[in-house]
Amino acid sequence: MGGAVPNPSSALPAVIALNRLAFGPRPADLEAGSSQPDRPDHRDWLARWLDRQLSPNDTDDPEVERHLAAAKLRIRYPAGDGWEAVDEDRPLACLGQPIESLWSLAANRPAVAGPERQRPRLEVAAATLIRAVHSHWQLREVLVDFWHNHFNVNAAGEPAVAAALPVYDRDVIRRHALGNFRAFLEAVATSSAMQVYLNNRSSRAGSANENYARELFELHTLGSGAYLNALYNRWRDVPGAVRGTPDGYIDQDVYEAARAFTGWTLEDGAGLGGDAKLPVTGRFTYVEGWHDGYQKRVLGREFDPFQSPMADGHRVLDLVADHPATARHVCTALCRRLVADDPPAGLVALAARVWTENRSKPDQIARVVRAIALSADFAGIRDAKVKRPLELVASFARGAGIDLVPTNPLLGELDGSGQRLFGWPAPTGHPDRMEAWLGAAAMRRRWGLLLGLAENRWETGAIDLAARFPAPLPAAAAVDRWQGILQDGQPEAATTAAILSGMGLAADVLLAPGTKAGDDRLRRVAAFVAMAPRFNQR
Amino acid sequence: MTISRRSMMRGGLAAGLGLAGCGLTGLPGIRSLAFAADASAGVGAEAPAGTLVVVFLRGGADMLALVAPADDPDYHAARTPDLRVMAEGQKAGIRLEQTLAPALDFRLHPDAAPLADLYAGRQLAIVHAVGLTDGTRSHFVAQDLMERGIAREEDLARTGSGWVARWLGEEGRGEGEPGRVPAIGTASAPAAALAGMGGALAVPDLRGGLAPPGGPQAAAVLAALYRQGDGSYERTARAALDGLTTVDGRLPREAGGKVAAYDAEGGAVYEETEAGRALQTVARVLKMDIGLRAACVDVGGWDTHENQQGRFANAVGQLSRAIAAFHADTQRYDRDLTMVVMSEFGRRLRGNRSQGTDHGHGGAMMVLGGRVAGGRLLGRWPGLASHQLDRGVDLAVTTDYRTVLSELIGPPAARSFPGFQGAPLGVLRG
């Protein structure tokens, strides 16, 4: 399934770049590019596009603002013990809230109806769809999706994670998606969402909870490739460890790091001894009394006992952020997202070099992304990824010109497709390899998503057919035109033949837009073109 | 009766391959046929365990809270009562007759009462202190190793296919046979143990039917779109369409076309839980008589680092009731059906201060079915004193997980678990 096929041409069609660095092209992106002297298949075009995209201007995203302000999701539940019945279309009211305002959704008392507890996840998912389809700042949206999976939390599980999700999305993931990894790591470590999800909030000196520390090493930073526990039992046996530069980590590093993070917790009302309790705000806090202050050793470095508050944890974050295995691991994941399931080693090495050289820069991540996007491998590899359902939905809406409005049924369909946004249970995040998305039932859901969007089954917005099909045209020409709109370049004859034969249409039968029969067929053709292998790969 | 036909079909396939393999040695007797099946990788051979349902408990199930020596002082010392199977009191565990460690009082978690019944009825055997010999405590490395049927991390890079795919001799096949579904997974993503097997079908749920959306026209377009093409996308889509159509065509429907509610046998009631839904799907496909030989079922929720007591009790209760329902529903398959329950590792003997347990090493496997020599605890109990623990902290692994799986699948184990040799424990009756 590697499928990374080098292309002899160095020219990179914009459609390919925009399927990887954006949620697919809009027809206008392609037309605007090709009518100008700097054609979109030139490296210069991509470099300029990257310059703009890597310095996003939040005050300039009018379509997103319009959609976020107008969006409403249904919420309904019967009266229960402590609440009235609710049945209303409600704006995305959680999104701008601070954690203190949302944290009541996490508490056991007072009682809150289940749909209220799930509401923040649905709102962030709806906003994610809006941004994926409508944002100017497409590259940031792609990276936000990447980092949400890299630093995965499951907001479909514990209500407290759901309550913390809007803040996590806004102040942690979005704020740092193009920034500095070390700063990002600390924002994640101190986020309410991660504190709950990987249980660090309940970790205490004595027998620390290892959940966060383990996944910090294995998933967030050094990666399982640097987990050498099967080879070495003692820290000093790890090559390089006695010099303070171990090749990797073992369980002893996990144990010690877990101790370093004891006391990092949340204001969740937990008892402090006697009658004292933490306040109930959901905000991060540090409790010195819960911290294991004795000396530690992490990655071959000695930590003296009784450091200042949070210094042990900060030092662990410094060590893991700076480790060469982290550069390799995170850059492999970035290249896997942006280029190919099995990215070439040379590309990963290039990205890791840029990563390391810029590790103290505030735009470290942006620089790495730029290097990947302008690399020869990025231009040379084709069709090495299968679009995940979110990409499939967003790229279809963008290509077909649907002014997409998220609705509860669409979010439900996306959940059923295998990509329940912010609801993946394991800390790995959604898988990023082709095979994970091609289960039989999952494929069926992909087809259903495309057909449902094309036919506006979930009131997500109609395809503007009149703009693309001003006059009646032969069926074969209609299929070809949809191919041109959705995937640029020459239409594939086999796809046209397959769709016509499957629909039982002669090539020259006229499809008349504006009539019910004509419109029905033109919409279906759009969905069928998007079901062809070409649209599903990038 | 469906069983005889399935058995005949498999026997026929085995014979066909056996003959090919035995051309060299002349007349094939029973012995040489068996050897040939082994040497030619036993494609289609009848597995000792019949159709195999592999239930994987994701997250590292705390088997020391499921089946444990309730009176062991080392166990008491390491765990607070909320993390223990208790010997007495209101929440006392259910005593198991056993010879694994006769001096100890092994008990099953009280919410696993349905499993205790199956154990007492000699349908269920439990292998303890079993797992990976590799030292990993990573969920994802451990799951990867087990699903690919290997035990060393350096073998991961050269082992792309899953052990079930290799067992069935179907790894590397682009597509399955039309009308036949030899294996299913009940997760949305294809099961890793089935990786490389084109005819395996990932079907979480059958209740809405599996026909392509958009009616016959869309189905015709999809068939035409994927008719040719050698890319993995096309091949996978073609196999998916075949499999979906096969299964959908066998789902009974009401007059209006809606998929009829499943009518379980034996008074079985499947709950609306992950385990309940998945095992109901397996039973339903099994009874379609489309050649099902393996099913991979995932059940999550076992990574109990925090507040384990309630979460674990719920998970054990849901799992136990789902297994009991499946067992009742599939009684007529008797010796032709076996279930094995496993997890990537057990958890730390000592609890943490979040009222949970962290990643450990040795765990337990459960095997259920008409061929199982049940009512026994198997393996070798290593003890829970510090010097008996793996790296001083975790239940040691005294039985390689592949020992159990090898016995269930017979000679093709040589292909599923390359380089592994282990004497069978006698999980199955002779």
Q: Per residue in A455-491, pLDDT tens?
A: 999 999 999 999 999 999 999 999 999 999 998 778 9
How high does pLDDT run on average in chain B?
89
* Number of compact structural domains in chain B: 3
For B369-412, the pLDDT digits (tens) are 999 999 999 999 999 999 999 999 999 999 999 999 999 999 99
pLDDT of residue B28: 33
**Residue after which a domain boundary falls, among A170, A195, A220:** A195
A402 lies in the same domain as A527: yes
Whole-number Å distance between alpha carbons of B182 and B164:
11
Q: Which of B189, B227, B243 sits opposite A431 (nearest CB)?
A: B189
Distance CA B352, CA B45 (A): 47
Q: Are residues A120 and A163 both part of a single domain?
A: yes
Residue A463 phi/psi, 5° resolution?
A: -70, 135
Other CB atoms within 10 Å distance of the CB of residue B8: 10
A256 domain-assigned: yes
What pLDDT digit, counting tens, does each position of A176-198 carry?
Answer: 999 999 999 999 999 999 999 99
Interface A-B: count of C-beta contacts within 8 A: 190
Same-domain check for residues B318 and B331: yes
The nearest alpha carbon in chain A to B174 belongs to A1
- Could you list the beta-strand ranges (E) of A435-521: 473-474, 510-511
Q: Do residue B225 and residue A230 have CB atoms under 8 angstroms apart?
A: no
Report CB contact under 8 Å: B202, A437: no
Same domain, A409 and A530: yes
My answer on whether B6 and B86 are in the same domain is no
User: Does residue A298 lie within any of the structural domains?
Assistant: yes
Q: Does residue B151 surpass a pLDDT of 60?
A: yes
Nearest-neighbour CA in chain A from B379: distance (Å): 23
Residue B424 falls within a domain, yes or no?
no
**Chain B positions in Cβ-Cβ contact with residue A517 (cut-off 8 Å):** none
Mind listing the pLDDT tens digit for each residue in A16-33?
A: 899 999 999 998 777 654
Same domain, B34 and B59: no
pLDDT in tens, B189-234: 999 999 988 889 999 999 999 998 999 999 999 999 999 888 889 9
CATH of the domain at B149: 3.40.720
| B187–A503 C-beta distance less than 8 A | no
**Cβ–Cβ < 8 Å for B266, B324:** no
The partner residue sitting opposite B203, judged by closest CB among A254, A440, A451, is: A440
Determine, yes or no, domain membership for A327: no
Average pLDDT value for residue range B76-92: 96
3-class SS of residue B231: coil
Q: What tens digit of pLDDT does each residue of A118-144 get?
A: 999 999 999 999 999 999 999 999 999
Same domain, B180 and B287: yes
- Where does a domain end: B221, B243, B261? B261
| Distance to chain B for A32, nearest Cα, Å | 31
Indicate whether B103 and B14 sit together in one domain. Answer: no
Query: Are residues B160 and B213 located together in one domain of the fold?
Result: no
Cβ separation of B137 and A428 shorter than 8 Å?
no
- A42 pLDDT more than 80: no
pLDDT 10s digits, B106-137:
999 999 999 999 999 999 999 999 999 999 99
Q: Tell whether B216 and B230 lie within a shared domain.
A: yes
Read off the pLDDT of each residue in B346-366 and give the average, rounded to a whole number. 98
Which residues does chain B have within 8 Å of residue A204's beta carbon, measured at their own beta carbons? 353-354
Instruction: Tell whether A377 and A393 lie within a shared domain.
Output: no
Q: With 80 as the cut, is the pLDDT of residue B101 above it?
A: yes
Q: Is the pLDDT of residue B44 over 60?
A: no
Are A438 and B240 a contacting pair at CB < 8 A? yes
Question: 10 Å Cβ neighbour count for A104?
Answer: 15
Q: What residues of chain B, 75 to 114, have a C-beta less than 8 Å from chain A? A: none
Domain annotation covers residue A335: no
Range of the domain at A473: 389-536
Quickly state the pLDDT bin for B178 (edges 50, 70, 90). confident
Q: Are residues B288 and B403 in the same domain?
A: yes
Residue B33 lies in domain: 1-46
Q: What angle do CA B387, B390, B395 make, to 5 degrees?
A: 95
CA B245/CA A476 separation, integer angstroms: 28
Q: Hey, CA dihedral for A378, A380, A384, A387, is it positive or negative?
A: positive
User: A110: cis peptide before it, omega within 30°?
Assistant: yes
Element holding B187 (H helix, E strand): none
Q: Which of A206, A383, A503 sits opposite B217 (nearest CB)?
A: A503
Complex ipTM value: 0.92
Scanning A202-241 for CB atoms below 8 A from B yields 202-211, 214, 218, 224, 227, 229-231, 233
Domain-embedded: residue B422: no
Q: What is the pLDDT of residues A362-399, one digit of tens each?
A: 999 999 999 999 999 999 998 789 999 999 999 999 99
Which residue among B241, B261, B281 closes a domain? Answer: B261
Is A332 contained in some domain? no
Same structural domain for residues A407 and A520? yes
Please indicate, yes or no, if residue B24 is contained in any of the structural domains.
yes
Q: Please, which residues 149-208 of chain A have a Cβ atom closer than 8 Å to chain B?
A: 198-199, 202-208
CB count within 10 Å of CB A332 equals 19
What's the structural domain count of chain A?
Answer: 4
Q: Is residue A518 part of a domain?
A: yes
Contact list in A for residue B203 (CB cut-off 8 A) is 439-441
- B120 & B193 share domain: yes
Q: Does residue B279 belong to any structural domain of this protein?
A: yes
Domain limit, last residue, from B197, B231, B261 = B261
Residues 28-47 of A with CB under 8 A from B: none
- Do B222 and B318 share a domain, yes or no? no
Within a domain: B290: yes
Q: Is residue A43 part of a domain?
A: yes
Residue A125 CB neighbours (<10 A): 25
The residues with which A5 forms a beta bridge, in sequence order, are A382
pTM score of the predicted model: 0.92
A410 and A531 assigned to the same domain: yes
A461 in a structural domain: yes
